[in-house]
Amino acid sequence: MQSKYLFVTGGVLSSLGKGISSSSIATLLKAAGFKVSILKIDPYINVDPGTMSPLEHGEVFVTADGAETDLDIGHYERFLDTSLEKSNNFTTGQVYLSVIENERQGKYLGKTIQVVPHIVDEIKYRIKEVAKGNDFLVVELGGTVGDIEGMPYLEAMRQMKHELGFKRVISIHVTLIPYIKAAGELKTKPTQHSVQELRRIGISPQIILARSEKPLSKDLKKKLALSCDVDDDSVIVAEDAKSIYQCPLNFLKEGVLNAIARHFGMENITPNMDDWDVLVKKIISPKNTISIGFVGKYLDLKESYKSLTEALVHAGANLDTRIDIKWIDSEKLSQENIAELSDVDGILIPGGFGSRGVEGKICAITYARENKIPFLGICLGMQLAILEFLRNVVQIKEADSIEFNPNTKEPAIYLIEDFIDQNGQAQIRTHKSPMGGTMRLGEYECILKKDSVIYQSYNKQEVIKERHRHRYEANPKYKPMLEKYGMFVSGESKNQLIEAVEIKDHPFFVAVQFHPEFTSRLKNPNLIILDFVRQSLKNKK
Protein backbone atom coordinates (compact mmCIF):
# COMPACT_ATOMS: atom_id res chain seq x y z
CA MET A 1 0.00 0.00 0.00
CA GLN A 2 1.19 3.52 -0.77
CA SER A 3 2.16 5.43 2.37
CA LYS A 4 -0.57 7.47 3.97
CA TYR A 5 0.22 10.53 6.06
CA LEU A 6 -1.34 11.60 9.34
CA PHE A 7 -0.40 15.19 10.11
CA VAL A 8 -0.81 16.13 13.76
CA THR A 9 -0.88 19.82 14.64
CA GLY A 10 -1.54 21.56 17.92
CA GLY A 11 -3.84 24.44 18.71
CA VAL A 12 -4.60 26.86 21.54
CA LEU A 13 -1.48 26.24 23.63
CA SER A 14 1.52 23.99 24.02
CA SER A 15 1.96 21.03 26.37
CA LEU A 16 -1.31 19.41 25.33
CA GLY A 17 0.34 16.03 24.91
CA LYS A 18 0.62 16.06 21.13
CA GLY A 19 3.55 13.66 21.40
CA ILE A 20 1.51 11.18 23.42
CA SER A 21 -1.45 11.61 21.08
CA SER A 22 0.72 10.97 18.02
CA SER A 23 2.36 7.98 19.69
CA SER A 24 -1.02 6.58 20.71
CA ILE A 25 -2.43 6.73 17.19
CA ALA A 26 0.74 5.18 15.76
CA THR A 27 0.61 2.44 18.40
CA LEU A 28 -2.97 1.52 17.49
CA LEU A 29 -2.14 1.37 13.79
CA LYS A 30 0.89 -0.80 14.48
CA ALA A 31 -1.17 -3.10 16.71
CA ALA A 32 -3.56 -3.53 13.78
CA GLY A 33 -0.71 -5.02 11.76
CA PHE A 34 0.39 -2.03 9.69
CA LYS A 35 3.92 -0.79 9.11
CA VAL A 36 4.03 2.54 10.85
CA SER A 37 6.67 5.17 11.39
CA ILE A 38 6.57 8.52 13.07
CA LEU A 39 8.33 11.84 12.60
CA LYS A 40 8.71 14.82 14.88
CA ILE A 41 9.31 18.21 13.33
CA ASP A 42 10.74 20.85 15.65
CA PRO A 43 10.30 24.33 14.22
CA TYR A 44 13.07 25.87 16.36
CA ILE A 45 16.29 27.03 14.72
CA ASN A 46 18.78 24.92 16.72
CA VAL A 47 20.24 22.22 14.51
CA ASP A 48 19.57 19.69 17.25
CA PRO A 49 18.64 19.86 20.94
CA GLY A 50 22.09 18.59 21.99
CA THR A 51 23.26 22.01 23.07
CA MET A 52 20.03 23.06 24.77
CA SER A 53 19.81 23.18 28.56
CA PRO A 54 17.83 20.29 29.98
CA LEU A 55 16.13 22.86 32.19
CA GLU A 56 14.79 24.62 29.15
CA HIS A 57 14.05 21.76 26.86
CA GLY A 58 13.69 18.65 28.99
CA GLU A 59 15.64 15.56 28.16
CA VAL A 60 17.81 15.04 25.10
CA PHE A 61 16.88 11.64 23.74
CA VAL A 62 19.63 9.70 21.99
CA THR A 63 18.78 7.36 19.12
CA ALA A 64 20.69 4.18 18.31
CA ASP A 65 22.43 5.93 15.41
CA GLY A 66 23.71 8.61 17.76
CA ALA A 67 21.37 11.54 17.08
CA GLU A 68 20.49 13.91 19.90
CA THR A 69 16.78 14.37 19.47
CA ASP A 70 13.65 15.76 21.04
CA LEU A 71 12.22 13.90 24.01
CA ASP A 72 9.11 13.05 22.02
CA ILE A 73 11.21 10.58 20.03
CA GLY A 74 11.61 8.77 23.34
CA HIS A 75 7.83 8.55 23.72
CA TYR A 76 7.53 7.21 20.20
CA GLU A 77 10.07 4.46 20.85
CA ARG A 78 8.53 3.57 24.20
CA PHE A 79 5.03 3.30 22.73
CA LEU A 80 5.91 1.73 19.39
CA ASP A 81 8.59 -0.60 20.76
CA THR A 82 10.85 0.23 17.87
CA SER A 83 14.17 2.02 17.33
CA LEU A 84 13.93 5.19 15.33
CA GLU A 85 16.70 7.05 13.53
CA LYS A 86 18.18 10.48 13.07
CA SER A 87 15.76 11.13 10.21
CA ASN A 88 12.73 10.69 12.49
CA ASN A 89 13.31 14.15 13.95
CA PHE A 90 14.35 17.31 12.19
CA THR A 91 14.45 21.00 12.97
CA THR A 92 14.24 24.26 11.03
CA GLY A 93 17.97 24.58 11.61
CA GLN A 94 18.60 21.34 9.73
CA VAL A 95 16.27 22.27 6.88
CA TYR A 96 17.95 25.65 6.34
CA LEU A 97 21.40 24.10 6.71
CA SER A 98 20.67 21.65 3.88
CA VAL A 99 19.19 24.32 1.63
CA ILE A 100 22.09 26.71 2.26
CA GLU A 101 24.64 23.97 1.64
CA ASN A 102 22.91 23.14 -1.65
CA GLU A 103 22.92 26.81 -2.58
CA ARG A 104 26.66 27.08 -1.81
CA GLN A 105 27.29 24.09 -4.05
CA GLY A 106 25.40 25.79 -6.87
CA LYS A 107 22.67 23.15 -6.96
CA TYR A 108 19.88 25.66 -7.56
CA LEU A 109 21.36 26.86 -10.85
CA GLY A 110 21.36 30.54 -10.05
CA LYS A 111 17.78 30.74 -8.78
CA THR A 112 16.78 33.06 -5.95
CA ILE A 113 16.36 30.85 -2.87
CA GLN A 114 13.00 31.34 -1.17
CA VAL A 115 10.88 29.78 1.55
CA VAL A 116 8.45 28.73 -1.17
CA PRO A 117 9.50 26.62 -3.02
CA HIS A 118 12.98 25.77 -1.72
CA ILE A 119 12.48 25.45 2.03
CA VAL A 120 9.07 23.85 1.61
CA ASP A 121 10.44 21.39 -0.96
CA GLU A 122 13.19 20.35 1.41
CA ILE A 123 10.58 19.77 4.14
CA LYS A 124 8.39 17.67 1.84
CA TYR A 125 11.42 15.68 0.72
CA ARG A 126 12.39 14.88 4.30
CA ILE A 127 8.85 13.84 5.23
CA LYS A 128 8.52 11.54 2.19
CA GLU A 129 11.89 9.91 2.87
CA VAL A 130 10.76 8.80 6.33
CA ALA A 131 7.49 7.44 4.95
CA LYS A 132 9.25 5.10 2.52
CA GLY A 133 8.36 1.46 3.10
CA ASN A 134 5.62 2.29 5.61
CA ASP A 135 1.84 2.05 5.36
CA PHE A 136 1.41 5.05 7.61
CA LEU A 137 3.59 7.93 8.69
CA VAL A 138 2.44 10.02 11.63
CA VAL A 139 3.99 13.50 11.41
CA GLU A 140 3.87 15.60 14.54
CA LEU A 141 4.51 19.30 14.09
CA GLY A 142 5.95 20.91 17.22
CA GLY A 143 4.61 24.22 18.51
CA THR A 144 1.16 25.69 18.06
CA VAL A 145 -0.69 26.74 14.93
CA GLY A 146 -0.03 30.45 14.46
CA ASP A 147 3.65 30.31 15.45
CA ILE A 148 5.81 32.09 12.87
CA GLU A 149 8.29 29.21 12.76
CA GLY A 150 5.56 26.72 11.93
CA MET A 151 4.37 28.39 8.73
CA PRO A 152 6.59 26.62 6.17
CA TYR A 153 5.61 23.26 7.64
CA LEU A 154 1.89 23.93 7.42
CA GLU A 155 2.46 25.03 3.83
CA ALA A 156 4.31 21.75 3.17
CA MET A 157 1.38 19.80 4.65
CA ARG A 158 -1.10 21.71 2.54
CA GLN A 159 0.92 21.05 -0.60
CA MET A 160 1.25 17.35 0.19
CA LYS A 161 -2.50 17.05 0.54
CA HIS A 162 -2.85 18.84 -2.82
CA GLU A 163 -0.32 16.56 -4.51
CA LEU A 164 -1.32 13.22 -2.98
CA GLY A 165 -5.04 13.79 -2.51
CA PHE A 166 -7.15 13.43 0.60
CA LYS A 167 -7.14 9.61 0.37
CA ARG A 168 -3.52 9.69 1.43
CA VAL A 169 -3.40 12.63 3.82
CA ILE A 170 -5.37 13.30 6.96
CA SER A 171 -5.08 16.27 9.28
CA ILE A 172 -5.56 15.78 13.02
CA HIS A 173 -5.76 18.85 15.22
CA VAL A 174 -5.08 18.53 18.95
CA THR A 175 -6.68 21.30 20.97
CA LEU A 176 -7.80 22.19 24.45
CA ILE A 177 -11.37 22.51 25.68
CA PRO A 178 -10.81 24.54 28.84
CA TYR A 179 -13.13 24.25 31.81
CA ILE A 180 -14.05 27.63 33.27
CA LYS A 181 -14.80 27.06 36.91
CA ALA A 182 -16.67 30.32 37.52
CA ALA A 183 -19.08 29.57 34.69
CA GLY A 184 -19.04 25.82 35.32
CA GLU A 185 -18.64 25.33 31.57
CA LEU A 186 -16.36 23.76 29.01
CA LYS A 187 -15.45 26.24 26.30
CA THR A 188 -15.09 25.46 22.60
CA LYS A 189 -14.25 28.96 21.34
CA PRO A 190 -10.43 28.62 21.47
CA THR A 191 -10.69 25.46 19.35
CA GLN A 192 -12.92 27.20 16.83
CA HIS A 193 -10.37 30.01 16.49
CA SER A 194 -7.49 27.63 16.15
CA VAL A 195 -9.27 25.71 13.37
CA GLN A 196 -10.05 29.02 11.64
CA GLU A 197 -6.35 29.85 11.76
CA LEU A 198 -5.55 26.47 10.17
CA ARG A 199 -8.13 27.06 7.44
CA ARG A 200 -6.67 30.46 6.67
CA ILE A 201 -3.52 28.58 5.70
CA GLY A 202 -5.56 26.14 3.62
CA ILE A 203 -5.80 23.16 5.95
CA SER A 204 -9.15 21.79 7.14
CA PRO A 205 -8.67 19.17 9.82
CA GLN A 206 -10.68 15.95 9.57
CA ILE A 207 -10.26 14.94 13.20
CA ILE A 208 -10.37 17.11 16.31
CA LEU A 209 -8.61 15.59 19.28
CA ALA A 210 -10.05 17.54 22.15
CA ARG A 211 -8.03 17.51 25.36
CA SER A 212 -10.22 18.12 28.34
CA GLU A 213 -10.22 17.58 32.07
CA LYS A 214 -13.92 16.69 32.01
CA PRO A 215 -16.05 14.54 29.72
CA LEU A 216 -17.78 16.36 26.84
CA SER A 217 -21.55 16.04 26.50
CA LYS A 218 -23.02 14.76 23.23
CA ASP A 219 -24.34 18.25 22.49
CA LEU A 220 -20.97 19.86 23.01
CA LYS A 221 -19.32 17.32 20.74
CA LYS A 222 -21.94 18.05 18.09
CA LYS A 223 -21.38 21.78 18.46
CA LEU A 224 -17.65 21.29 18.08
CA ALA A 225 -18.10 19.08 15.03
CA LEU A 226 -20.40 21.63 13.40
CA SER A 227 -18.21 24.64 14.06
CA CYS A 228 -14.99 22.87 13.05
CA ASP A 229 -16.65 21.20 10.06
CA VAL A 230 -15.72 17.63 10.94
CA ASP A 231 -17.96 14.53 11.18
CA ASP A 232 -19.75 14.15 14.51
CA ASP A 233 -17.80 11.03 15.41
CA SER A 234 -14.51 12.62 14.40
CA VAL A 235 -14.40 14.65 17.58
CA ILE A 236 -12.22 12.45 19.76
CA VAL A 237 -12.21 13.46 23.39
CA ALA A 238 -8.93 12.89 25.17
CA GLU A 239 -9.73 13.24 28.83
CA ASP A 240 -6.88 13.46 31.34
CA ALA A 241 -5.65 9.90 31.85
CA LYS A 242 -4.20 8.21 34.93
CA SER A 243 -1.24 7.02 32.89
CA ILE A 244 -0.01 8.14 29.48
CA TYR A 245 -0.12 4.48 28.44
CA GLN A 246 -3.88 4.54 28.87
CA CYS A 247 -4.25 7.02 26.00
CA PRO A 248 -4.19 4.54 23.09
CA LEU A 249 -6.93 2.53 24.84
CA ASN A 250 -9.00 5.67 25.45
CA PHE A 251 -8.58 6.84 21.87
CA LEU A 252 -9.64 3.43 20.64
CA LYS A 253 -12.82 3.59 22.73
CA GLU A 254 -13.51 7.06 21.38
CA GLY A 255 -13.38 5.65 17.86
CA VAL A 256 -10.30 7.33 16.43
CA LEU A 257 -9.58 4.38 14.14
CA ASN A 258 -13.08 4.46 12.67
CA ALA A 259 -12.62 8.11 11.78
CA ILE A 260 -9.23 7.39 10.20
CA ALA A 261 -10.46 4.31 8.30
CA ARG A 262 -13.48 6.15 6.95
CA HIS A 263 -11.39 9.07 5.75
CA PHE A 264 -8.95 6.84 3.93
CA GLY A 265 -11.73 4.66 2.53
CA MET A 266 -10.38 1.60 4.36
CA GLU A 267 -12.18 -1.28 5.98
CA ASN A 268 -12.33 -1.37 9.77
CA ILE A 269 -8.95 -1.13 11.44
CA THR A 270 -8.87 -3.50 14.42
CA PRO A 271 -5.83 -3.53 16.67
CA ASN A 272 -4.93 -6.20 19.20
CA MET A 273 -4.20 -4.30 22.40
CA ASP A 274 -4.62 -7.20 24.86
CA ASP A 275 -1.04 -7.26 26.21
CA TRP A 276 -1.02 -3.50 26.42
CA ASP A 277 -4.29 -3.51 28.35
CA VAL A 278 -2.86 -5.94 30.92
CA LEU A 279 0.21 -3.76 31.46
CA VAL A 280 -1.87 -0.60 31.83
CA LYS A 281 -4.03 -2.28 34.46
CA LYS A 282 -0.87 -3.12 36.39
CA ILE A 283 0.28 0.50 36.16
CA ILE A 284 -3.03 1.81 37.43
CA SER A 285 -3.70 -0.68 40.21
CA PRO A 286 -0.53 -2.61 41.01
CA LYS A 287 -0.17 -5.24 43.73
CA ASN A 288 3.08 -3.96 45.25
CA THR A 289 4.65 -0.60 45.95
CA ILE A 290 8.30 0.24 46.49
CA SER A 291 10.22 3.42 47.06
CA ILE A 292 13.29 4.33 45.02
CA GLY A 293 15.62 7.12 46.12
CA PHE A 294 16.42 9.14 42.99
CA VAL A 295 19.45 11.30 43.76
CA GLY A 296 19.61 13.92 41.04
CA LYS A 297 20.29 17.53 40.36
CA TYR A 298 17.74 18.76 37.81
CA LEU A 299 14.81 18.26 40.15
CA ASP A 300 13.07 21.48 39.14
CA LEU A 301 12.43 20.00 35.74
CA LYS A 302 11.75 16.30 36.08
CA GLU A 303 11.24 16.16 32.31
CA SER A 304 15.01 16.04 32.02
CA TYR A 305 14.86 12.51 33.47
CA LYS A 306 11.88 11.49 31.34
CA SER A 307 13.30 8.28 29.84
CA LEU A 308 14.49 7.08 33.21
CA THR A 309 11.23 7.74 35.04
CA GLU A 310 9.34 6.06 32.20
CA ALA A 311 11.74 3.11 32.31
CA LEU A 312 10.84 2.72 35.98
CA VAL A 313 7.16 2.72 35.04
CA HIS A 314 7.84 -0.03 32.48
CA ALA A 315 9.75 -2.14 34.98
CA GLY A 316 6.99 -1.56 37.54
CA ALA A 317 4.24 -2.51 35.07
CA ASN A 318 6.01 -5.75 34.23
CA LEU A 319 6.51 -6.56 37.93
CA ASP A 320 3.03 -5.45 39.03
CA THR A 321 4.63 -2.80 41.23
CA ARG A 322 4.16 0.91 41.68
CA ILE A 323 7.39 2.81 42.11
CA ASP A 324 7.21 5.83 44.33
CA ILE A 325 10.17 7.97 43.46
CA LYS A 326 11.65 9.79 46.41
CA TRP A 327 13.36 12.77 44.78
CA ILE A 328 16.51 13.74 46.60
CA ASP A 329 18.36 16.90 45.66
CA SER A 330 22.02 15.91 45.46
CA GLU A 331 23.11 19.48 46.20
CA LYS A 332 21.44 19.31 49.59
CA LEU A 333 22.52 15.79 50.52
CA SER A 334 25.43 15.23 52.91
CA GLN A 335 26.49 12.95 55.80
CA GLU A 336 24.27 15.02 58.10
CA ASN A 337 20.98 14.25 56.39
CA ILE A 338 21.86 10.92 54.77
CA ALA A 339 19.10 9.33 56.88
CA GLU A 340 16.74 10.62 54.18
CA LEU A 341 17.71 7.45 52.36
CA SER A 342 16.88 5.14 55.26
CA ASP A 343 13.33 4.41 54.08
CA VAL A 344 13.99 3.70 50.39
CA ASP A 345 14.18 0.20 48.91
CA GLY A 346 16.70 1.04 46.18
CA ILE A 347 18.99 3.92 45.26
CA LEU A 348 19.37 5.30 41.75
CA ILE A 349 21.95 7.82 40.54
CA PRO A 350 21.13 9.11 37.06
CA GLY A 351 23.43 10.74 34.50
CA GLY A 352 24.47 14.35 34.77
CA PHE A 353 26.98 16.99 33.82
CA GLY A 354 29.22 19.29 35.83
CA SER A 355 30.41 19.23 39.42
CA ARG A 356 27.32 20.60 41.18
CA GLY A 357 25.80 18.02 43.52
CA VAL A 358 28.59 15.49 43.02
CA GLU A 359 29.55 15.21 46.69
CA GLY A 360 25.92 14.52 47.67
CA LYS A 361 25.73 11.74 45.11
CA ILE A 362 28.94 10.24 46.46
CA CYS A 363 27.44 10.22 49.98
CA ALA A 364 24.42 8.35 48.62
CA ILE A 365 26.70 5.79 46.94
CA THR A 366 28.63 5.21 50.19
CA TYR A 367 25.31 4.69 51.94
CA ALA A 368 24.07 2.17 49.33
CA ARG A 369 27.39 0.32 49.38
CA GLU A 370 27.76 0.08 53.15
CA ASN A 371 24.11 -0.70 53.88
CA LYS A 372 23.81 -3.19 51.01
CA ILE A 373 20.88 -1.38 49.43
CA PRO A 374 20.19 -2.24 45.77
CA PHE A 375 22.01 0.38 43.74
CA LEU A 376 22.02 1.37 40.09
CA GLY A 377 24.36 4.07 38.83
CA ILE A 378 23.95 5.41 35.32
CA CYS A 379 26.64 7.21 33.31
CA LEU A 380 27.80 9.92 35.75
CA GLY A 381 26.40 7.52 38.36
CA MET A 382 28.97 4.91 37.30
CA GLN A 383 31.80 7.41 37.20
CA LEU A 384 30.95 8.49 40.74
CA ALA A 385 30.59 4.90 41.96
CA ILE A 386 34.19 4.34 40.84
CA LEU A 387 35.39 7.53 42.52
CA GLU A 388 33.58 6.64 45.73
CA PHE A 389 35.17 3.19 45.79
CA LEU A 390 38.65 4.50 45.03
CA ARG A 391 38.41 7.21 47.68
CA ASN A 392 36.75 5.27 50.48
CA VAL A 393 37.75 1.66 49.96
CA VAL A 394 41.03 1.72 48.01
CA GLN A 395 41.97 4.87 49.95
CA ILE A 396 43.10 6.93 46.97
CA LYS A 397 41.66 10.06 48.50
CA GLU A 398 42.43 12.30 45.56
CA ALA A 399 40.70 10.13 42.96
CA ASP A 400 38.69 12.47 40.77
CA SER A 401 37.20 13.13 37.34
CA ILE A 402 38.90 15.68 35.15
CA GLU A 403 35.41 17.00 34.49
CA PHE A 404 35.39 18.43 38.03
CA ASN A 405 39.11 18.85 38.60
CA PRO A 406 41.12 19.17 35.37
CA ASN A 407 44.47 19.08 37.20
CA THR A 408 43.81 16.10 39.43
CA LYS A 409 46.77 13.83 40.17
CA GLU A 410 44.47 10.81 40.14
CA PRO A 411 42.37 11.06 36.98
CA ALA A 412 40.19 7.99 37.48
CA ILE A 413 37.67 9.48 35.07
CA TYR A 414 39.42 11.04 32.11
CA LEU A 415 39.16 12.15 28.51
CA ILE A 416 40.55 9.80 25.94
CA GLU A 417 42.03 11.26 22.83
CA ASP A 418 41.53 8.63 20.20
CA PHE A 419 38.29 6.88 19.90
CA ILE A 420 36.99 4.59 17.21
CA ASP A 421 33.31 5.21 16.64
CA GLN A 422 30.77 2.66 15.42
CA ASN A 423 31.63 3.41 11.79
CA GLY A 424 35.25 2.55 12.42
CA GLN A 425 36.32 6.17 12.27
CA ALA A 426 38.75 7.66 14.72
CA GLN A 427 37.12 10.38 16.74
CA ILE A 428 39.40 12.79 18.54
CA ARG A 429 37.93 14.08 21.76
CA THR A 430 39.43 17.14 23.34
CA HIS A 431 38.29 19.91 25.61
CA LYS A 432 38.67 22.35 22.75
CA SER A 433 36.16 20.79 20.41
CA PRO A 434 33.02 22.83 19.93
CA MET A 435 30.15 22.09 22.32
CA GLY A 436 27.93 19.28 21.27
CA GLY A 437 30.48 17.64 19.03
CA THR A 438 32.71 15.83 21.50
CA MET A 439 30.51 13.24 23.04
CA ARG A 440 30.36 9.54 22.61
CA LEU A 441 26.83 9.14 21.31
CA GLY A 442 24.58 6.32 20.27
CA GLU A 443 24.56 2.58 20.46
CA TYR A 444 27.65 0.51 21.22
CA GLU A 445 28.19 -3.12 21.97
CA CYS A 446 29.10 -4.07 25.50
CA ILE A 447 30.62 -7.44 26.28
CA LEU A 448 29.39 -8.80 29.59
CA LYS A 449 31.47 -10.85 31.93
CA LYS A 450 29.98 -14.20 32.86
CA ASP A 451 29.58 -14.67 36.63
CA SER A 452 28.38 -11.12 36.96
CA VAL A 453 25.04 -9.80 38.15
CA ILE A 454 24.57 -7.79 34.96
CA TYR A 455 25.04 -10.93 32.85
CA GLN A 456 22.20 -12.57 34.76
CA SER A 457 20.07 -9.41 34.49
CA TYR A 458 20.46 -9.44 30.71
CA ASN A 459 19.33 -13.09 30.55
CA LYS A 460 22.86 -14.37 30.01
CA GLN A 461 23.47 -12.48 26.80
CA GLU A 462 27.18 -12.17 26.22
CA VAL A 463 26.95 -9.05 24.12
CA ILE A 464 24.36 -6.33 24.62
CA LYS A 465 23.79 -3.03 22.84
CA GLU A 466 23.06 0.12 24.76
CA ARG A 467 23.23 3.84 24.05
CA HIS A 468 25.73 6.41 25.27
CA ARG A 469 25.89 10.14 25.82
CA HIS A 470 28.99 11.29 27.65
CA ARG A 471 32.40 12.86 27.18
CA TYR A 472 34.47 11.15 29.87
CA GLU A 473 35.49 7.53 30.39
CA ALA A 474 36.66 5.44 33.31
CA ASN A 475 40.44 5.17 33.29
CA PRO A 476 41.51 1.50 32.90
CA LYS A 477 44.71 2.25 34.82
CA TYR A 478 42.66 1.97 38.01
CA LYS A 479 41.07 -1.36 37.10
CA PRO A 480 43.61 -3.58 38.99
CA MET A 481 43.21 -1.47 42.15
CA LEU A 482 39.42 -1.60 41.99
CA GLU A 483 39.45 -5.34 41.40
CA LYS A 484 41.89 -5.99 44.23
CA TYR A 485 39.44 -4.44 46.67
CA GLY A 486 36.25 -6.00 45.34
CA MET A 487 34.83 -3.76 42.62
CA PHE A 488 35.14 -5.45 39.26
CA VAL A 489 34.54 -4.54 35.66
CA SER A 490 31.55 -6.55 34.45
CA GLY A 491 31.10 -4.95 31.03
CA GLU A 492 33.60 -3.70 28.48
CA SER A 493 33.45 -2.32 24.97
CA LYS A 494 35.27 -4.09 22.14
CA ASN A 495 38.17 -1.72 22.61
CA GLN A 496 38.28 -2.24 26.38
CA LEU A 497 36.51 0.86 27.59
CA ILE A 498 34.93 0.23 30.99
CA GLU A 499 31.14 0.02 30.50
CA ALA A 500 29.92 -1.58 33.73
CA VAL A 501 31.21 -2.20 37.23
CA GLU A 502 29.82 -4.03 40.23
CA ILE A 503 30.78 -4.82 43.81
CA LYS A 504 31.26 -8.48 44.67
CA ASP A 505 30.22 -8.41 48.27
CA HIS A 506 26.84 -6.74 47.73
CA PRO A 507 23.42 -8.11 46.71
CA PHE A 508 22.99 -5.66 43.82
CA PHE A 509 25.45 -2.86 43.20
CA VAL A 510 25.63 -2.27 39.45
CA ALA A 511 26.79 0.85 37.65
CA VAL A 512 26.87 1.35 33.90
CA GLN A 513 28.48 3.88 31.61
CA PHE A 514 25.61 3.68 29.11
CA HIS A 515 22.04 4.95 29.50
CA PRO A 516 19.85 1.85 29.75
CA GLU A 517 16.73 4.02 29.99
CA PHE A 518 16.91 4.88 26.28
CA THR A 519 16.02 1.33 25.24
CA SER A 520 13.20 0.70 27.69
CA ARG A 521 9.70 0.22 26.29
CA LEU A 522 6.42 -0.56 27.98
CA LYS A 523 6.19 -3.96 26.29
CA ASN A 524 9.91 -4.55 26.45
CA PRO A 525 11.39 -3.09 29.62
CA ASN A 526 15.12 -2.55 29.87
CA LEU A 527 16.60 -5.58 31.59
CA ILE A 528 19.05 -3.96 33.99
CA ILE A 529 16.43 -1.48 35.19
CA LEU A 530 13.92 -4.33 35.50
CA ASP A 531 16.35 -6.30 37.65
CA PHE A 532 17.17 -3.26 39.77
CA VAL A 533 13.46 -2.85 40.51
CA ARG A 534 13.09 -6.58 41.15
CA GLN A 535 15.95 -6.50 43.67
CA SER A 536 14.54 -3.39 45.32
CA LEU A 537 11.22 -5.18 45.65
CA LYS A 538 13.01 -8.06 47.40
CA ASN A 539 14.63 -5.55 49.72
CA LYS A 540 11.28 -3.87 50.50
CA LYS A 541 11.16 -2.48 54.00
Q: Is 471 in the site for ligand GLN (CB under 6 A)?
A: yes
Q: Is 296 in the site for ligand GLN (CB under 6 A)?
A: no
How are beta strands 473-474 and 463-470 bridged, if at all? unpaired
Q: Which of residues 475-514 bind ligand GLN (CB under 6 A)?
A: none
Residues 6+ positions from 227 with CB-CB distance below 8 Å: 188, 191, 192, 195
**DSSP 8-state code for residue 520:** -
Query: Of 61, 251, 444, 472, which one interacts with ligand GLN (CB under 6 A)?
Result: 472
Buried b (16+ CB within 10 A) or exposed e, 244-278: bbbbbbbbbebebbbbbbebbeeeebebebeebee
Q: Is 374 helix (H, G, I), strand (E, B) or coil?
A: coil
Q: How far is the CB of 511 from ligand GLN (least distance, A)?
A: 11
* Cβ proximity to ligand GLN, 257 vs 387, nearer residue: 387
Of the ranges 64-72, 336-344, 349-357, 360-368, which one interacts with ligand GLN (CB under 6 A)?
349-357
Q: How far is the CB of 469 from ligand GLN (least distance, A)?
A: 5
* Cβ proximity to ligand GLN, 253 vs 431, nearer residue: 431
Q: Is 517 in the site for ligand GLN (CB under 6 A)?
A: no
Query: Of 78, 297, 369, 469, which one interacts with ligand GLN (CB under 6 A)?
Result: 469
Q: Which of 363, 379, 410, 473 is catalytic?
A: 379
Q: How far is the CB of 297 from ligand GLN (least distance, A)?
A: 11
370: buried, middle or exposed (CB in 10 Å: 19+, 13-18, 0-12)?
A: exposed
What is the rounded CA–CA span in Å between residue 32 and residue 185? Answer: 37
Q: Which of residues 417-436 bind ligand GLN (CB under 6 A)?
A: none
Strand order in the sheet with 207-212: 89-91, 36-42, 136-141, 4-10, 169-176, 207-212, 235-239
Site string for ligand GLN, 30-49 (x = CB under 6 A): --------------------
Q: Is 173 in the site for ligand GLN (CB under 6 A)?
A: no
* Cβ proximity to ligand GLN, 252 vs 368, nearer residue: 368
Q: Provide the CA 419 distance to its chain's centre, in angstroms.
A: 26
Q: How far is the CB of 339 from ligand GLN (least distance, A)?
A: 27
* Cβ proximity to ligand GLN, 346 vs 352, nearer residue: 352
Q: Is 527 helix (H, G, I), strand (E, B) or coil?
A: helix
Q: Which of residues 380-399 bind ligand GLN (CB under 6 A)?
A: 380
**Through-space distance between the first and last CA atoms of the chain, rounded to whole angstroms:** 55
Q: Residue with CB nearest ligand GLN? A: 351
Q: How far is the CB of 479 from ligand GLN (least distance, A)?
A: 18
How are beta strands 440-448 and 463-470 bridged, if at all? antiparallel
What is the rounded CA–CA span in Å between residue 529 and residue 179? Answer: 39
* Cβ proximity to ligand GLN, 166 vs 404, nearer residue: 404
What is the rounded CA–CA span in Å between residue 295 and residue 158? Answer: 47
Q: How far is the CB of 304 from ligand GLN (least distance, A)?
A: 11
Active site residue 515: yes
Query: Of 130, 154, 333, 379, which one interacts with ligand GLN (CB under 6 A)?
Result: 379
Q: How far is the CB of 67 from ligand GLN (least distance, A)?
A: 16
- What is the identity of the amino acid at 38? I
Query: Of 351, 374, 411, 525, which one interacts with ligand GLN (CB under 6 A)?
Result: 351
Count of positions on this chain that bind ligand GLN (CB under 6 A): 10
What is the rounded CA–CA span in Å between residue 425 and residue 406? Answer: 27
Closest to 149 (Cα-Cα) out of 253, 46, 237: 46
Q: Is 353 in the site for ligand GLN (CB under 6 A)?
A: yes
Query: Of 74, 143, 271, 352, which one interacts with ligand GLN (CB under 6 A)?
Result: 352
What is the rounded CA–CA span in Å between residue 166 and residue 419? Answer: 50
292: buried, middle or exposed (CB in 10 Å: 19+, 13-18, 0-12)?
A: buried
* Residues identified as active-site: 379, 515, 517
The contact set with ligand GLN (CB under 6 A) reads: 351-353, 379-380, 403, 469-472
